[in-house]
Amino acid sequence: MSSGSSPSNQPVSPLRARITKASYPYIARLHALPQLTLPIVTLLLVVVGAFAPVALAVPALLVLALLLGWLGFLSWPVVGNGSRAMRVFAVLVIVFFAVSRIAGN
């Protein structure tokens, strides 16, 4: 028995169906890129978020949070509870870091 929900036993909401359908061309493009593209983009956004001036750091961190939130949303139905918690935690840490960069300025 799996700790996550299976797509076959849960009805799909209209919102999830629309977002998944709208995301398909972008996911297909990401899939067509070299495998290291997404990790490199993620690393660049983290480095800019950590070391750049606040005017560049906060938007980079917010883009990273949106990217991870979007990918987490798309994968939500097929991952277990532990993976869900890690995805939410990662986005919250990034948003907290962005807010702390603003407050520390």
Q: Could you tell me the pTM of the whole model?
A: 0.83
Would you list the domain boundaries of the chain? 34-103
pLDDT of residue 12: 84
Closest alpha carbon to 95 in 53, 55, 67: 67
| pLDDT, mean of residues 15-40 | 95
Q: How confident is the model at residue 5 (pLDDT cuts 50, 70, 90)?
A: very low
Residue 85: CB partners within 8 Å, gap ≥ 6?
none
Confidence check: pLDDT of 68 > 60: yes
| pLDDT, mean of residues 77-100 | 95
